[in-house]
Structure 1
Amino acid sequence: MSFQNIYQGKKVLITGHTGFKGSWMAIWLKELGADVYGYALAPQSEMDNFVICNLESQINHYEGDVRNGKKLKGYFEEVQPDFAFHLAAQPLVLLSYQDPVGTFDTNLMGTVNFWEAVRATPSVKAAVNVTTDKCYDNKEWVWGYRENDPMGGKDPYSASKGCSELITNSYLESFFSIEGTCNIASARAGNVIGGGDWALDRIIPDYFRAFKVGEKLEVRNPYATRPWQHVLEPLSGYLNLAAELSCKGKEFTGGWNFGPEDVTNYSVKELIDEILLLDNRGGYVIPEGTKKLHEAVLLKLDISKAANFLKWKPVLSFKETVDFTLKGYIDDLNGGNNILKARSEQIYQYTKTAIAKQINWALEWK
């Protein structure tokens, strides 16, 4: 499997491993033969990917808050990881309005505490801070944001992620720029979907919650476009980036975008319509009088830097993305004891697809 020669037998520490992306990353790294260590808050519900995959029994699970810098640094000192990925965050825009202080505290000081822990642990050779496309100052222009565009954010969540990027760059310039120090980077991705995500106020989890109880979802912003990605797409980017940082060093430090091809932004309505083409048991309604809303109508990432220098690009078409996502949720809704196996099979199928399509990262790290 791709990346196995990089991560097999290595200690990899993930903050936020009980979250959606973090739990998928833990599964993938486990499949690669890594010794996976997680530091995160307890999962929020029994439907969380971490819980339904029974990951607590599969990896080294440690409960802790990234706002507790002393505890986080102590865990790094105990583990002595080779790689570190920072995925712990308050990830919801709506919640950031309800709890701006907690959002800024987690997303800013959590980032500071992560880099302080990395700085105090010489065993870490490569570390990646995972943020979001919302870190950019959103002008809603028709072309994608590049890594050197200004950070911004009008809502507390987006602003906190822009700040997290500035913090990362500050640590890069101040502490990690000379040879012999850890090679660090940040990774920015768009709207990530896939089985195991049951967070509130997200369109796909909301759709499948309605699906589960036989109701139709009310879609209030059907025309907003997003850079939809299956969760494995950015994770392949993070793993690729950390591999390059580990093997090739400082030239791969800094910020990186991981998103779909420029022509593959789709609206909320188009996304749900594609689900219905594959499985017509659900449905949605658009309230009367709904108009195209101004808020975040356009949001794109320019991935040319990753394509040219990392030789990374996404694997799945829009239809394949929806198919992978639907399969994941059907596995969740059917329940049973084999969801972890189903996740591993999706990772295998994704990697196999990448190799068949001659995607460079899948071939280089094979």
Structure 2
Amino acid sequence: MKSTKTLILNGQLQKDIEVASELLSNDKIVSFCTETVYGLGAWGFSEKAINKIFKAKNRPKCNPLIFHVANIASAKKLFFHENCKNKDVIENRFTLLAHSFWPGPLTIVSFKSNKVPLLATANSAKVAVRIPSHLVAQKLLNTVKKPLVAPSANASNRPSPTCAKHVLATLDGKIDAVLDGGICQRGLESTVVDITQKCPIILRLGAISFEQIKAILPNIKVKNGGKKLKNEHASPGMLKKHYSPEIDSITLLPSSEMLKFWHTKTALLMLNNSAKKLKKELGIRKYKSPIETLPDDPLLYAKELYAAFYRLENHNATKLIIEKPALNLKNTDDWQAILDRLKRASSKNN
């Protein structure tokens, strides 16, 4: 992997982690690996550094950022619950979630400390915080000893990166460095939970499922897409069009519709078993059109989804048909976060 513009650092080397830490301490922006996707880090209390993130990603400032910290004590410093009417309820929810899922792919949203700049929260009184579990992210956070804001390290609305190569595909020359930690284990963004509402609400479905959180907070609900909350931009990833590869036309269709496109020049993204069945029934595709097949298991599908999007971009596909995974009573929860990404990626609206 080569880059002539952005410094590439090795996340396995402590000396390179120290270089990344030094850059971040001096208001530079550095991409680093987490268990979900690569984040684009900046010192969270520096508006100068935060502005660089928005500029590099061409990210609208109404889209908030998630703070990444090394431990629960550091997370607590970013929140302020003293004046809350339901302080005890909020703090109990925080404790239950933090001790159940941190470090890991859960983001908790609650009322922010005055130390947290409004620029990082889209002018919201709430802040989103998580503790990543990836060893490289942990080493970086423990070395820099500062809270880092870190949205996904890609140009706005493009697929999230799950390896350093993906970061460079859209941000080479726009960021100071990428700390290469290999391929992300999850490949799907964190689940975002707002603990300040009457009932806690999942604002963004992600790597931790609704059922997993419900086991800890039985009254949890999932945000209704048609119902606005007081703080509509409390979570990133809520734009209608998001996670989208650079392909002119993207359509999400049920399995039954895929056979119409088998012998066309259209690019396809399908489940492994579906593609095998069509190949058996219809033979090899007549045109050398790109086709990406992904595992039928939702966890493996999620891990490989964004990489498939980037490969399709490299094929210069102009039209893409995505097979919509079929749901049943047993697998619905496992596929919900993936379906959210597929719907946003294929949305015609910004």
Q: TM-score range by the shorter chain?
A: under 0.3
TM-score (ref. length: structure 1):
0.26
Greater share of helix: 1
TM-score (ref. length: structure 2):
0.27
**Whose Rg is larger?**
2
Greater share of strand: 2
Which structure exhibits the higher relative contact order, with contacts defined as CA atoms closer than 8 Å and separated by 6 or more residues? Answer: 2
